[in-house]
Amino acid sequence: MLTKQTIETPTNLVNINKSRSLQRSLIIYSGLGIFLLSIFVSIVSILPLYQRLKKAEERNLEFVAENHSTTVDQYLSKAKDIALQIGSRFQAKRELQAYNQNQLSLSEYQANSTPKLSDALKTSSDLIGISRFDNNGNLVIEVGKSIPSQFRNIASLESQEVSIQDVIKIENDSFLLIKAPILSSEFQRIGTDIILFETTILQNLINNYVGLGETGETVIGTLRNGNFELLFPLRNESASPSPSLISALEQSLSGQSGLLMGNDSSFQPEVIAYSNVSEPNWGLAVKKDQGELYALINRRIMISSVIIVLLSLLGTTAIVLIIRPLINQAITVDDLEQEINEKTLLLEGKTLELQLEKRRSDLIHDALVQMGQLRSFSQEALEQSLTSGNSAKKSLELAKIGSSQVEETLEEMIRIKQTVETINTEINNLSNNTEEIANIANLVRDFANQTNLLALNASVEAVRAGEQGAGFAVVADEIRNLADQSRDSADQIQEILGEIEKAIDSTVKATSNGTEAVNLGFSIAQETVTTFNEVRNSINEVANSSQQISLSNQEQTNAIEYVVHTINEIEKSSFSNIN
């Protein structure tokens, strides 16, 4: 009983530690999963809201741009109305028309109209100068602030519309320059007024930073000599407009409205809303840094994110507290089930051990039977290996005798081969001599032919000589007969040589066949010697192997007897333990 407790106690401790570790892991991973899921759901919910809030701020900036554009349009419209009213007074038009028709002198006209134009300066606080020109573009009256000569150009005397010319600089002050036609009752142009307005009100409208924060501002620009210039300085007077701002002003100048996201690397990222102004040569834009534009949204989103994280943590903690007892109960049930499984496995192990013990006893008995048979077979193999060894020794002696006889045959074949080679050499010499005799016979035949030809020529000459050449003709006939005989002898020699050559060819073929046969026999004799040597070596190896097999069989027989003795001892010991 003590031994059983000693074995089971560490196992129980290990199981308890595993259970606690599993409980902690389940609680931690469950809480972490719930927290991450709540964070993911919050992010998915907040992102669309964040985008909508950003769009709302951008629309607000566009509304500011449109509002400033409308304000500028109203200001310019009011200034144009004032300019039109100054020139539309009936008495002023009648006097100017009389001056144009030379009914009044310049001094008379100035005396009558100057007080009236001075009174007109009082109609508006920002109206500071009026210059009146006749129908020929000549300056006739000037009240208030004088207009520089470079701005007095009357471009078109036929236009009947009041036009905003530009914002000009006079002594470092900005002024709005307006040109207004003076029309008669028949709507004929009889003169022109160039009017100066202070831009204080307009500049105050532009520099109104309410709702624009610290980085926002309104910008108005125009094209001058192909270059885009600002009518009023930026909020930071030392700064220059960014390329994105100039692009927005150019689009506004072309009559467009919209939103532009600035991404210039050398400037702070900014959002620019632009809107068109009624005057065709002015562009208006409202810009604000992205960081400030979305600052309130970012703060709200950050606060919402912190609140969501805190709520997620609280919810996760509550859920963990709820599921913790359930996990503990589940782990306890698992522990009981695991313990029951362990006990069942232990019983099955004991049963299996008894079955294995019985199976081992049966196997030992069968092994004893098989080992007895194996011992008999081993003894028979030992006897057969001894018999094979004796046979191998006898075969080795016979192989040695056969090898000696074959070697003697090989030596005799070598002598026959040498004799045949000598005969072949002599026959080749005889063939060469026959060829020399044939050459000599050919020479004799050629000599006989030449002699015959000479004898024939001598006979012809003897006939020509008549009686004096009769003796020479007889000699020529004899010589011709000798030549014919020599030629016949040469032909006979050629026939005899032909027969000799045929005999030599037959002898050469027979000698060649004999040489081939001798060579073949020599090769066969060599192969036979080699084969006998290999057979002798093989038989020698078989004899050695038979000796090794005999020794191995003897050792195997001894080992089998030892194994049989050992198995008998094991069987006795097993039966005594079981009993």
How far is the C-alpha of 130 from the C-alpha of 140, rounded, in Å? Answer: 11
Amino acid, res. 354: L
Two tokens at 514? 């004999």
Q: What is the pLDDT of residue 239?
A: 76
- What pLDDT digit, counting tens, does each position of 403-460 carry? 677 777 777 777 777 777 787 787 777 777 777 777 777 777 777 777 877 777 877 7
Percentage of the chain with pLDDT > 90?
2
* Cα-based angle 165, 167, 168 (whole degrees, multiple of 5): 105
**Cβ count near 572 (within 10 Å):** 10
Angstrom distance (rounded) from CA 406 to CA 523 = 12
Higher pLDDT, 185 or 267: 185
Q: Given strand 173-183, what is the order of strands in its sheet? A: 139-144, 127-134, 189-198, 173-183, 163-170
Indicate the range of 238-252, 358-372, 406-420 predicted with least confidence: 358-372
Taken in order 143, 148, 149, 150, is the CA torsion positive or negative? negative
* The pTM of the whole model exceeds 0.85: no
For tokens 């409308």, name the residue. 70
Q: pLDDT tens digits for 216-232?
A: 888 888 887 777 788 88
How many CB atoms sit inside 10 A of residue 86's CB? 23
Residue with tokens 């109960």: 329
Q: Which residues contact 128 (CB under 8 A, 6 or more apart)?
A: 121, 144, 145, 175, 196, 197, 198
- Identify the CA nearest to 180 among candidates 82, 105, 247: 82
Q: Could you read off the pLDDT of 280-319 as tens digits, one per residue?
A: 678 899 988 888 888 888 888 888 888 888 887 887 787 7
Tokens representing residue 422 in the block: 């000598």
Q: How many CB atoms lie within 10 A of CB 176?
A: 22
At 178, which helix (H) or strand (E)? strand 173-183
User: Is it the case that residue 328 has pLDDT exceeding 70?
Assistant: no
pLDDT the model gives residue 120: 86
What pLDDT shows up at residue 506? 77
**pLDDT of 339 higher than 70:** no
pLDDT in the model for residue 6: 39
Task: Please tell me the predicted confidence (pLDDT) of residue 332.
Answer: 56
DSSP bridge pairs for 143: 130
Give Cα separations from 482 to 470, 477, 488 (angstroms): 19, 9, 10
